[in-house]
Amino acid sequence: MRRIAEEIDYETKNIMAIPLKSRDKNIVAILEFLNKEDGFQEENIHYLSIFNPIIVSTIENISMHYQREKEIKKLSAMVEVSQKLGSTLNLNTLLKLIMGIGKDVLNAEASSIFQIDEEKKELYFVTATGKKGKKVKTIKLPWGKGIAGWVAQKGKTVYVEDVEKDKRFYQKVDEKSQFKTKSIIAVPIKTKNKILGVAEVLNKKGEESFSNEDIEIFEAIAKQAGLAMENAGLYQDLDELFRGTIRAIVKAIEAKDKYTRGHTERVTEYSLLIGDEMGLSDEEKRKLEISALLHDVGKIGIPDAILGKPGKLTDKEYDVIKSHPKRGAEIMSSIKQMSDVLDGIKYHHERYDGKGYPEKLKDGKIPLTARIIGVADAFDAMTTDRPYRKGLPTEEAKRRLIENKWAQFDGEIVDKFIKLFSDKEKLKSLQNIIKSAKDK
Ligand SMILES: [Fe+2]
């Protein structure tokens, strides 16, 4: 007692201390009165004890209010996270949003998610918020290293108040990112039977440390991140199955004709290389891939006698051939999930100058996927053998594409395609596709 008085520079002469008990007889606080001039009397204690229930209930109310505030904080964070869950399909965007909420609700400096790469035996950042977020994302964590590595292996939450005192802490991430980690909550991201990654929140702002409440809230947030990762994984598996099925069907259709064999596969590869060069988003590239795979599906209904005719086609026969983009779109229109790829199928024979078919659409009115497929389709048609002629050399086909810029083709797309040939890596991919046509 004397020490407290010294510290606050206050001299205590006399003291009256009364325990405040709740209804269930637990002491919830001690009430102290100091320095009554003529000293405390028994009646003072009696007098105060009358107010005891009022004081106790006030304290209880305040603490309940505080508890409720925490509950509300937790609940609103969860509502915000679950709203985000339904807002976008892109996993990275979603995880970034979720971790942003985690960082703000816990009043922390940064938050991040590591994913486990089982093959390479390392952890890598899928998202990192905070000032050094971008720098951090290039860093990999060797298997079992660091607090995150420990959490990934043990599957248990860890709270470290001072990382300098924890042997598990892996200094190198801080060295590379120039972020000074002080405290960490690290939570495993689990699905039913697997650990997918680790969510971390770093450095509580201000004087406070992370509380048990914070840990609980962050565990709930990590659970949501896990759900998002699991859903995205399921979606990806289904989508791969979907695309694989389309590839197999298209391959089976093409197999009977040695001239068109592999055509759609090659057109798809060329289209995706162009799409990459144009900086299309993942969603746009997916749409482009499926449209390209199915661009000639309308040829199913065209008799082989016309499709494989070695000589010149009559006008009537040519009209039948020209019906394939529309037919293709019609066939696919019965499948709900195909609605966003119909454009690419229907308009891949439109020309930039409006002289194409089926609707004579012009310039920008032709959907982008159809314009890309148009260039890829023409290049493959020119460089491969037909019943009535040999395939052209690559350089000649490139020259013809350039010659037809802004007439048959969107000039910008031709430029992007031609540019691919000057990149060493991409040239290799192109040569492999061209070669695959010769090997068939
Ligand atoms: Fe076609």
CA 243 – ligand 1 centroid, Å: 20
Q: Is residue 77 part of a domain?
A: no
Does the pLDDT of residue 271 top 80, yes or no? yes
Rounded CA-CA distance 233/255 in Å is 33
Higher pLDDT, 172 or 60: 172
Preceding peptide of 358 cis, ω within 30°: yes
- Which whole-number Å values give the CA distances from 340 to 293, 331, 370, in the listed order? 14, 14, 12
Contact 130, 211 (CB under 8 A): no
Give the CATH number, domain containing residue 25: 3.30.450.40
CA 425 – ligand 1 centroid, Å: 28
CA 348 – ligand 1 centroid, Å: 7
Task: Label residue 418 by pLDDT band (50, 70, 90).
Answer: very high
107 and 155 together in one domain: yes
Q: Is residue 105 part of a domain?
A: yes
202 and 334 together in one domain: no
What is the token pair recorded at 100? 């942003």
68 and 93 together in one domain: no
397 and 358 together in one domain: yes
CA 296 – ligand 1 centroid, Å: 5
pLDDT for 37 equals 81
- Which whole-number Å values give the CA distances from 362 to 134, 351, 367, in the listed order? 42, 7, 10
User: Considering the chain, what is the average pLDDT of its residues?
Assistant: 86
What is the token pair recorded at 22? 């709740």
58 and 98 together in one domain: no
Q: Is residue 355 part of a domain?
A: yes
Average pLDDT over residues 41-51: 73
Does the pLDDT of residue 65 top 80, yes or no? no
114 and 9 together in one domain: no
Q: How far is CA 371 from the centre of its chain?
A: 28
Q: Which of 45, 72, 99 is the last residue of a domain?
A: 72
301 and 344 together in one domain: yes
Task: Label residue 284 by pLDDT band (50, 70, 90).
Answer: very high
Stated as kind and residue range, the H or E segment containing 114 is: strand 108-117
CA 135 – ligand 1 centroid, Å: 46
Does the pLDDT of residue 145 top 70, yes or no? yes
Name, of 112-121, 167-176, 315-324, the range with top average pLDDT.
315-324
268 and 339 together in one domain: yes
CA 276 – ligand 1 centroid, Å: 22
Contact 288, 369 (CB under 8 A): yes
229 and 331 together in one domain: no
CA 420 – ligand 1 centroid, Å: 23
CA 279 – ligand 1 centroid, Å: 25
CA 295 – ligand 1 centroid, Å: 6
| Distance in angstroms between the alpha carbons of the first and the last residue of the chain | 94
Q: Is residue 244 part of a domain?
A: no
Task: Label residue 89 by pLDDT band (50, 70, 90).
Answer: low
144 and 206 together in one domain: yes
Q: Which of 41, 72, 103 is the last residue of a domain?
A: 72
Rounded CA-CA distance 412/39 in Å is 95
Domain that holds residue 428: 255-439
What proportion of the chain, given as a percentage, has pLDDT over 70?
A: 91
CA 6 – ligand 1 centroid, Å: 92
Contact 75, 82 (CB under 8 A): no
CA 373 – ligand 1 centroid, Å: 9
Give the CATH number, domain containing residue 435: 1.10.3210.10
CA 247 – ligand 1 centroid, Å: 16
228 and 293 together in one domain: no
Contact 366, 347 (CB under 8 A): yes
CA 422 – ligand 1 centroid, Å: 28
Q: Is residue 239 part of a domain?
A: no
Average pLDDT over residues 35-51: 76
Q: What pLDDT, in 10s, does the model give residues 368-387?
A: 999 999 999 999 999 998 87
- Which whole-number Å values give the CA distances from 421 to 218, 262, 374, 418, in the listed order? 49, 21, 18, 6
Q: For the ranges 79-93, 151-165, 266-280, 334-348, which has the lowest average pLDDT?
A: 79-93
Task: State the total domains in the chain.
Answer: 3
Q: What pLDDT, in 10s, does the model give residues 344-363?
A: 999 999 999 999 999 999 99
pLDDT for 84 equals 66
Name the amino acid, one letter, at 333. S
CA 342 – ligand 1 centroid, Å: 13
CA 150 – ligand 1 centroid, Å: 55
197 and 266 together in one domain: no
Torsion of CA 64, 66, 67, 70, to 10 degrees: 160
Q: How far is CA 372 from the centre of its chain?
A: 26
Q: Which of 201, 233, 265 is the last residue of a domain?
A: 233
Average pLDDT over residues 283-303: 90
CA 324 – ligand 1 centroid, Å: 7
Torsion of CA 139, 143, 144, 148, to 10 degrees: 40
CA 281 – ligand 1 centroid, Å: 25
pLDDT for 4 equals 63
Nearest to 84 by CA among 107, 105, 67: 105
Q: Is residue 273 part of a domain?
A: yes
The residues that bridge with 198 in the sheet, in sequence order, are 114, 188
CA 308 – ligand 1 centroid, Å: 14
Q: Is residue 238 part of a domain?
A: no
What proportion of the chain, given as a percentage, has pLDDT over 90?
A: 40
What is the token pair recorded at 155? 């599957």
User: What angle in degrees, to the nearest 10, is found between the helix axes of 91-105 and 212-254?
Assistant: 180
- Which whole-number Å values give the CA distances from 440 to 66, 254, 266, 384, 395, in the listed order? 74, 12, 12, 11, 21
Q: Is residue 48 part of a domain?
A: yes
